[in-house]
Amino acid sequence: MEAILQASTNLKHSTLLRLLYETGMRIGEGHALTFKSFDFERRTVRVVPEKGSRARELKISPKLCALVMQFYAKYPDGVFPDQQSARKHLGRVRRSLAKISCNPRFLNVHLHTFRHFRAIYEYHRTKDLLYVQQILGHRSISNTVRYARFVDWETDEYIAKAAKNLEEASKLIESGFDYVTEMDSVKLFRKRK
């Protein structure tokens, strides 16, 4: 997915694709965004729902904030590309990447793939279907469950570390390790490989 984002050089389309990638919103929700939808101080975007889903406010990265500000500086009355335009652009990018890298799997990436990616990523990270439901704006958890079935839990591998004191534990947490348990006065942490 990151290769597609990097290969997209058109400011309008690359901003929209990164929005889809980071938030998991639908293409129609992305097209409906306006400057007022963004809170650059809090780094959030307010998504107006479509298809009967729920409105939601989602966090966005500093990189995406900068990209959106650049987009609105260049296009003050800017409207993000519609589905047809975005689909054509993505088609050109993925065909180019598939040819350059000799990897036909790029051809399987569609606009909705970004939504699936975000859902699977967040579920894999949190293992919390209700959280994923909230991000995607689903009204029914049964819609969200469809995304969770793609995660292969058999391949989970972890790095384990032990901390004997507060300083070691702090360093492990800062490097992305999660606390698991304590045994013999030693705190155990783990992080996915």
Residues 107 and 166 in one domain: no
List the structure tokens of 146: 């469809």
Task: Say if residue 193's pLDDT is above 80.
Answer: no
Residues 104 and 163 in one domain: no
Q: Report the C-alpha gap between 20 and 157 in whole angstroms.
A: 28
pLDDT tens column, 116-161: 999 988 988 888 889 999 999 999 888 888 876 665 555 567 889 9
121 domain-assigned: no
- Contacts for 141-150: CB closer than 8 Å, 24+ residues apart: 144/119, 147/116, 147/119, 147/120, 147/123, 148/119, 148/120, 148/123, 150/116, 150/120
Structural domain harbouring 167: 157-192
| pTM, to two decimals | 0.75
Q: Report the C-alpha gap between 38 and 45 in whole angstroms.
A: 5
pLDDT tens column, 77-120: 889 999 999 999 999 999 999 999 988 999 999 999 999 999 98
Mean pLDDT within 50-70: 93
**Amino acid symbol at 116:** H
Last residue of a domain, one of 48, 77, 111: 111
pLDDT tens column, 162-185: 999 999 999 998 888 888 888 888
45 domain-assigned: yes
Q: Report the C-alpha gap between 50 and 83 in whole angstroms.
A: 13
Residues 101 and 169 in one domain: no
Q: Report the C-alpha gap between 38 and 42 in whole angstroms.
A: 9
Residues 46 and 91 sit within 8 Å (Cβ to Cβ):
no
- State the Cα angle at 164 between 163 and 170, rounded to 5°: 50
Residues 8 and 65 in one domain: yes
